[in-house]
Every structure is written in C-alpha cells, then in structure tokens.
A and B are shown apart, each in its own frame.
Chain A
Amino acid sequence: MWTTITQITPYAIIFTIPLLITALGGLFSERSGVVNIGLEGLMIIGAFSGAFVIFKVNEMWPDNPYVLWLGILGALVAGALFSLLHAFASINLSADQVISGTAINMIAGALTIFLARNMTGSGNIELTGFQPYNVPYLSDIPVIGPLLFTKTYDTTWLILLVLAVSAYILYLTPFGLRLRACGEHPHAAEAAGVNVQRMRYIAVIISGAFAGLGGAIITLTYAGQFTGSVSGLGFLALAALIFGQWRPLGILGATLFFGIASTVANVSQVIPELAVIPPVILKVFPYVVTLIALIVFSKTSRAPKAVGEPYDSGKR
C-alpha cells in the first residue's frame, strides 16, 4: 500500500500544479468581481505559446539551456495579452462575462490549432519538456521525502512560491484589500478612492497570465506536446475555485483533491486494490463530488458578492 502511495503521489502533484496556478488566476479575477470562464481557453493559449516560443527558439539557437523558461515567459505574456479581450468586453463594454469567457474559449481552441497546423501540419507540437528529478538530501527524508521530493519539477516549486506570494498579496497588502473590495462592494471601493476598472483590469490580466502559465506547465511536464486542448482542466480549475471557497489554501486543497482523484482513476487498472472498482466510478468521482460540494456550500457560499456583475459607477 505504501509503495502504491509513494508511486502515485508524485504524479498527483504534477497533475495538481497546472490546476492550482490556473485556479489561483481565477481567484484574482473573481475576487475583483469578474467571472473568468475563459480560463480553459487561456490555458490553451499558454500551452500553445509556450510550445511556439520553444519551437522557434530551438530553430534559431539550438541547445539553448534557457529555452524552456523562455517558453514559460512567452506563455505568461500571451495569456496576459489574450485576457485583455475578456477584460475589455466585461469591464469596458459591460458584456455578459460568461458569454465573453465562452467566446475566449472558442477563439483560443480554434486559433491555436489553426496556427499550429500552419507550423507543423498535424496541429501537434512535440517538444522535450522539463525533466523530473529527485531533490538531493531532501528526498532521503523518511515519509515526506518519497512523497514530496522525488520525481519533482522546478515548476512545482515555482508555483508553490507563487501561491504563497499570492496569498500574501491578497490578504496582507493594501493592494489585495482593494482588489477584494472591488469584488465585494465596488461602489464602496470607489467611494474610498479605488479605481475599480483599473483594479479589475489588473486582476483579469493576472488570471490570464496564471492560466497561460498553467497551460504551458501541462505542455512542459506530463503532456510533452501541444495538442490543441487541455481536456477541460480550465473548467475544473473554476470548480476548484468554488470548492476551495475562494481562498488560497482552500484552492490548494481542492486542486490536490482533483489531482489525486484523477491520478487514481488513471492508474487504477494496474493497482490490484483499485482494479476491483469499475473505472467509470473513479473517473466520474471528482465531478460528482464537486456537484455535492456545490450543494453543501450553497448555504454558506463565500462567493465574492459582486462577482459577475458589470460595474456601473452611476448605479445605486
């Protein structure tokens, strides 16, 4: 049993990380009052841009050791730029945020494959991503060594750092307080001198950058290629946001749950203890649990009060 757990855990963490960073992006956006259902599309943009940058840089300077990080940076920037479409529609034009996000998803899905086909013909971009490694010394610690410090990626530690920094910014800085105020009571925030529109722009751009990062991490860790889809992980990140009740640690727990559940479902057939359970139950499990969680939390939901509402300064 212990060997099984130590075998599964590294994969569960690898799967959790892109979800975590995307959900964290969603946290910024929703806390400022903008629903970003376009996370899925922004992840695809990130996955593509990362692969695109690496593909091009490899052509120009082969064997560049920093090429993967350039890809990550490209994904970050592309996600941020693309999210401006959503920010413009939902903040300046008071468009329905869910529809605008859906449009982002559709544009991203179609456009990236269109561009990838122009590059490679098949629409898939294959590349060599980050290599997993065991952290020296730390991986020898009993119990947590094999769980946390084996087969790990640099990106995992980067994202955990981002999580800590985000939590600090949201809860312990004036900027974070203002951002959260825009999502709870934008009129009060404005009365206190906060530029609600600018705040929301910043938050949506952060969500785009984070989602782009998440997409690139999928390409560069477990997927190893860009395929034109992130298989609904962006939507799962949205669910994790609700599941985690719009709090950083809650999100960490929720995404870890999804990571473990998905990994267990994926490997269940080769593990005797799990092979007795029909695979469909394991596959459906995270989604059903989310539905149940939605019901459980419905009474005590901590959703930002103004989330999804276009801000109209003159409205009372």
Chain B
Amino acid sequence: MNRIVVSLVAVLFGLLAGAVLMAVTGHNPITGYSYLFEGGLKNPERIGNTMATATPLVFSGLAVAFAFRTGLFNIGVAGQLLFGGFCASAVGLNWALPKPLLLIVMLIVGFLGGALWAIVPGLLKARFNVHEVVSSIMMNWVAYWTVYYAVPAYLKAQYSETESAQLPEAASLKVPFLTEMFDGSFINLGLFVAVIIVLVVGFIINRTTFGYELKAVGHNRSAAEYAGIAVNRSIVFSMAISGGLAGLGGVALYAGNASNIQIGVLPSQGFDGIAVALLGANTPIGVFLSAMFFGLLYSGRGFMNAMTEIPPEIADSIIAIIIYFAATSILIERLIRWFIRRRRANTKASTSQEGKVGM
C-alpha cells in the first residue's frame, strides 16, 4: 500500500478529529481552521515563521527516522537536542570568531554534543542489549538536570536565573537579508542547513554502502550479522548520527529561532520528531514535508487563539491524533481496501443490473 496515501489519510483523519474536538467544545471548526491556516500563511512574515518553526522539527524528525531505519527507536531526541544546543551555545557565548566560522564550529559542536548523548544508549544496546527506549529516556532526564544546573552556573543571563545569556549577533543563525526578505520573521539559516542535511541523509541512506548496512541491520539483525555486517558497530554509528542530527536541531532551535536556552523544559520538538518521522514514512523528503505541515499548525495556532476562543493546544491534539492513525496504518489500509472492494462491487452490481435491463 502506498505510504503517501496512508499518511495523507492519517492527516485527513487528524484534521477531522480536530474539527470534532472544536465542535464538541463549542467552537466553529471552519472559522478555527481558516484562522489556523491564515495564521501560518497570511503574509511573508508568517510564512517565514512557519518555515522557521518547522526547521528544528526537520532535524528531530530526521534524527528519529535515521535511527528507525536501523531498527532503533530513538525517543531520546529531546535530551540530545537540548544537550547539543547547550554545547553550541557554550561555544557561541565564549568564543570570539568571525560569524561564518563561528556558526560552522557551533554546528559541529552541536552535532558532537547530540551524538555524545546518543552514543550512550547506542553502546548499551550494542554491548549489553539494553533496550534503547528506556536508556534514552533516562538520558533525557540526565540532560534535563545537567542543563538545568549548568546554564545558571556557566552561561547565566545577567538578570534571569532561568535562562542562558543572549547569544551575540555573530553566534546567531539569523541574518539580516532573510529577516528583511520575510518582513521581520525569525526565519534563519537553520532552514538552509536543514535542506542540506535532508539531501545528505537521503544520499547516505539510499546511495552508500554504509546506509545499506544500517538498513540491513534494521530489517533483520541476524541476517545482517550472517552477511558479515558489523551489527554492533552499525547500531552505535546509527545512534550517534541520529543524536548528532538532533544536536543540529538544538543549534537551529536555540541559536536560530531563539537566542538563548530556557531551563526547566525538555524541548517538545524532540518528541514531535517521532511524529514527523512517522508521518514522513522515515524518508528524508517525507520528514521535510511533514515537518513543514506541523510547523504550519504550530505557527498558526497563536493567531487562531487570538482570533477565537479555541485553546492553542488544538494543534498538538491534531498532531497526536494524526500519529495514532499513522501508527495504526493497518486500519487505514484495511479501510482503503474495503472502500475499493465496495466500489468494485458496486460497479459490478450496476453493470449486471444494466445487463438485466438489456435482456
């Protein structure tokens, strides 16, 4: 069954469920949706904000999708993203380099920070067969508390205890020409990095021996081992790259969309990455498109909330419901098959009826 159709049907069901939710809580779904989409697309600034909101989701979605391909469920993207963003912010605040060089160093450091955080579950999985879901959830909380105490200790803002200092202009992914092109939106270079990474990941997965080996491990671990693929090494590499991608998302989030780190929250983008990957069928292009769609929902919800009484969490609810339908894709497949069969039966019935009339 075509994965695109399944994803589209899941989106449709999610939007329908959202409409039902709005109606049940006493709001008009049509007004709600029109403000939601207007809020994400009405003018260049809002379009820019939509794409910027989607940027960290592209990275976190790629991170989840990459690990998925090797049969690993990386639920620790939130922690990897946070820690990668933290490392990059530390560099951005402390090193005085020319802007292009500093940004490249920050991206590399962010990648390494995220990778470091993901290597732990990877090693535990490869060496001790510890399930990566539980270990990476533990790593999420370790990252949460580490950043919680490290930010006030080392990167403290002047007047606030709960956030890091503002990054200097040279360490920000925002550039004047983009901001002006989109009328003051917070869109930034992160989007271009995301596009490049989408292409690179697509190339690695589909066109290299390394990517082939990772996929082979994901399809059948024993068969891959029998074929001479170093399974354990593949698992560690896959987790490390996945975490690195999450770390890049952290740079895009904390040095692009925002300009500092708030402590006391695990970035929701990490968990949304699971949704993005699932809806995008774990393909880089699919991830990019579904991240854009979720970005639209997230960036439009504020406008919708301002114009109507509908709480902004409707966007999160819609996304969550889409994911349930994407996860239960068999249901959708059965539904489509049933629908096709019924149509066939109908046409058959009508042709046989016509035949009778002819007789």
Contacts and interface: CB of A to CB of B under 8 A. Distances in A.
Interface in B294-322: 311, 313-314, 316-317, 319-321
Given A115-B25, A232-B141, A106 B271 contact: yes
B275 interface: yes
- The secondary structure that dominates the A interface is helix
Interface in A33-63: 37
A287 B138 contact: yes
Interface string B127-140: 01110011101111
B320 A287 contact: no
A296 to B, nearest CB: 9
A194 interface: no
Nearest to B311: A117
Contacts of B124: 291, 294-295
Query: What bracket does the count of chain A residues touching chain B fall in?
Result: 35 or more
Contacts of B324: 85, 89, 100, 103-104, 107
Given A117-B311, A118-B311, A102 B330 contact: no
Interface stretch (B41-49, B86-94, B106-114, B145-153): B145-153
Contacts of A269: none
Given A106-B271, A239-B138, A294-B124, A123 B311 contact: yes
Interface string A90-126: 0001111011101111110111011101100001000
Interface in A257-295: 278-280, 283-284, 287-288, 290-291, 294-295
A311 interface: no
A239 B141 CA distance: 12
Nearest to A35: B133
Contacts of B275: 106
B103 interface: no
A209 interface: no
A235 interface: yes
A239 B271 contact: no
Interface string B262-290: 00000000010011001000000000000
Contacts of B149: 278-280, 283
B229 interface: no
B134 A89 contact: no
Contacts of B320: 103, 106-107, 109-111
A72 to B, nearest CB: 25
Contact of B330 (A95, A117, A283, A298): A95
Contact of B328 (A100, A279, A298): A100
Contacts of A93: 328, 330-331
B328 to A, nearest CB: 5
**Residue of A94, A103, A107, A111 most packed against chain B (CB within 10 A):** A103
A27 interface: no
Contact of A96 (B21, B150, B327): B327
A110 B319 contact: yes
A183 to B, nearest CB: 16
Given A107-B317, A110-B313, 10 more contacts: A99-B323, A105-B271, A107-B324, A115-B25, A232-B141, A239-B137, A284-B142, A284-B146, A287-B142, A299-B128
Ranked 8 nearest A-B pairs via Cβ: A110-B316, A106-B320, A117-B311, A298-B128, A114-B313, A280-B149, A107-B320, A103-B324
24 contacts: A89-B327, A95-B328, A95-B329, A98-B73, A100-B327, A103-B324, A104-B324, A106-B319, A107-B320, A109-B316, A110-B317, A113-B313, A113-B316, A118-B25, A123-B311, A235-B137, A239-B138, A287-B138, A287-B141, A291-B120, A294-B124, A294-B134, A298-B128, A298-B129
Interface of B: 21, 25-26, 73, 75, 120, 124, 128-130, 133-135, 137-142, 145-146, 148-150, 271, 274-275, 278, 311, 313-314, 316-317, 319-321, 323-324, 327-331
